[in-house]
Each structure stands twice: as C-alpha cells, then as structure tokens.
Amino acid sequence: MSGLRTWWAGRSPAAGAAVMATGIVSTGLHLIGAEALSLAALALAGAAWVLLGIGFVRRLVLDRGRWAAEARSPAALTAAAATAVLASRLATLGRHPLAEALLTLAAVLWAVLLPIVVRHWRSRMPGAVFLCCVATQGLVVSAAALAAAEHRAWLAHTALVLFWLGLVLYAFALPRFDARQVLEGPGDHWIAGGALAISALAGAGLLAAGDTGGLYLWNDDDRDALRTTTVLLLALCLAACVVLLVAEAVRPRLRYDQRRWATIFPLGMTAAATLSVGTAVGVPWLRGPGRALVWVAVAGWLWVAVGTVTDAVRAARAGSGEVRSRAPR
C-alpha cells in the first residue's frame, strides 16, 4: 500500500484532466441516449474529483510551498475546468443547486488560479497553455445550461462575456504553444484542439439559452455573429482533430502517460460539440459524426484507464517489494 500511496501522492495537477475526460464522456453518452453508461461515467468522475479535491486542499493547508509551485503551472487550471465540467453535467440532470455550487467553486478557482498561471507563461509551452481558454469556456458551458434551465438572463449575459474572453485567451496562448509538441507531445498537446471544441460547445449552449422560451438575450445581429463564430469554431476543432490524428499516426506515442487524459478530453469534447452545435444551428446530419466520435472517445477512455490502473498496480507492487526487501531476515 505504501507504493500506491506514493503513486497517488505524486499525481501532478494534470491528473485533473482525468475528471475532465470522464465528465465530458458522460456528457457525450447522455447526448446520444446511452444514459446508464453516462451516469456510470459521471459517478467515476465525481469520485475522482472528490479524491483530487482532498489532495488539493491538503496541499493548500499542509504543504503550501508545493501548492504554490503547482499553482504556477497551466495544469493547475484543470481544477477549475474539471469542476465546471461536472457542474454542466449535473445541470442537465436537473440537479441545479449542486450544479450552482460547483459553478461557484469553479469560478472562484478560475479567478484565483488564472492570474497566477498567466503571470508565469513563457515561450514554447506544452498544450496545457490552452487550459486558460478551456477553464473559461467551462464556466460558460455550465452557466449557459443553468441560465436556460432557470431563465436567468444575467447569467447568460455573463456567460457571453466569458465566451469572448475565452477566445481572446486562446489567441494569447497560441503564440506561446510549442508547435513541435504536435509531433512530440505526450498527450496534452491535444488541448490545442480541445480548447476550440469546448468553445464551440459553449457557443452552442449560449444559442440554446437564447432560444429558451420567454428569455430574450440578444438581438438577431448578435445571434448571427454568435452562430457564425460557433460554426467556425466547430470547423476549426474538427480540422485540428484531423491534424492531431495524422501526427499521432506519423509519430506514434503508445507508451502510457497520465497526460493522455488530456487527449481523451478533446476527443470527448469534440463529440459533444459536434452533437450540440448540430442541434443548435439546425444541422441534423452532424449527429452521425458526433455519435461516432462519442464511441471513439469511449474507446480512448478505456485505453487510458487501463494504462492508469496498470501504472498504479505496478507502483503498488514495487512498494510491496521494497517493504519486503527491508524486512529483517
């Protein structure tokens, strides 16, 4: 057990991508009607979020130096993004009070961590640099879902401001991304496409909130601009997905790395975005590709989950062997 505890204690902030990936896979399964699998994935995401949250608080209270060091990393924003993903899924289940609580927590984490992370940006960064956009658009997805469900215009307008801010953050992050990561990255380079996908999903959510009966949010010109931007974002994220898949084929990276969870998240997000944008803009044929992408994301999730379990078992066995070797003969 000491080996397993050491393995768990060594998880970096990037481990939050596992919650993001599992949560968005749950959303994708929900969108195609696979509700039992969706709820199972949501339960796993919730359990992982609780465990990682305990570690986050423990470091904040007992190991402030490590917490401060990790807070400077772009991966720290997975805390806000993962919380927002869970909030949006709970909103679709009608668990509005819990979704609101998680959205509030995500907003606080975002407000605290984003300035710290951005201050420590540098040149030639990994794909995690785009988490500034992902975390921001995660708030938009959750807020738009709650605004539509509870007919709150102020929440939708706030979400719209954050939507445009997220795109600005993507534009600022892009020059700092090391393009060599497309061929060399261990998995988190996929966030470059995932940020576009969650932006498209956020746009679709805002369009859906605007269509809610009795809730007037923006005029026709503003809606057309939002619609055009959302469709463009979906096209860009699909193009990015193709480029990233080709790069994986040209330069296979099959060895397990916990940052592979940051590959599954964009796959699941692209699936959810394709389905949601198709519904929001009235393009029903997008449902076929969206459904296929959901199952691709599920297959990828299973592959990375097996790698995670195998890595944990290996660490536990190594720890047990170390204990036995130190025992008196």
Instruction: Tell me the per-residue pLDDT of 171-211, one tens digit each, with 9 for 90 and over.
Output: 999 999 999 999 999 999 999 999 999 999 999 999 998 88
Q: What dihedral do alpha carbons 22, 47, 310, 268 form, nearest 10°? A: 0
3-state secondary structure of 71: helix
What is the predicted pLDDT for the residue at 174?
96
- Concatenated DSSP letters for 206-238? HHHHHTSTT---S-HHHHHHHHHHHHHHHHHHH
What percentage of residues in the chain have a pLDDT greater than 70?
92
What is the predicted pLDDT for the residue at 2?
60
Give kind and range of the element (H or E) at residue 322: helix 287-326
Confidence tier at 5 by pLDDT (50, 70, 90): low
Output b/e per residue, 149-159; b: 16+ Cβ within 10 A. Answer: eeebeebbbbb
Mean pLDDT of 220-236: 91
The neighbour count for residue 314, using CB atoms within 10 Å, is 13
Both tokens of 322, joined, read: 């170390």
Mean pLDDT of 282-289: 94
CATH number of this structure's domain 10-313: 1.50.10.150
Q: Which residue has the higher pLDDT, 216 or 188?
A: 188
- Concatenated DSSP letters for 148-200? HHHT-HHHHHHHHHHHHHHHHHHHHHGGGB-TTHHHH-SSGGGHHHHHHHHHH
Q: CA 83 to CA 89: how far, in whole Å?
A: 10
* pLDDT of 318 over the 50 cut: yes
* pLDDT of 317 over the 80 cut: no
Instruction: Tell me the per-residue pLDDT of 34-66, one tens digit each, with 9 for 90 and over.
Output: 999 999 999 999 999 998 888 888 888 888 888
* pLDDT of 8 over the 70 cut: no
Instruction: Tell me the per-residue pLDDT of 111-152, one tens digit each, with 9 for 90 and over.
Output: 999 999 999 999 999 999 999 999 999 999 999 999 988 888
Look up residue 124 and give its DSSP letter.
S
For the entire predicted model, the pTM comes to: 0.92
What is the predicted pLDDT for the residue at 323?
47
Q: What is the mean pLDDT of the chain?
A: 90
* pLDDT of 88 over the 90 cut: yes
- Angle in degrees, 0-180, between the axes of helices 261-281 and 191-210, rounded to the nearest 10: 30
How large is the greatest C-alpha to C-alpha distance in the chain, in angstroms? 81
What is the predicted pLDDT for the residue at 214?
64
* pLDDT of 11 over the 70 cut: no
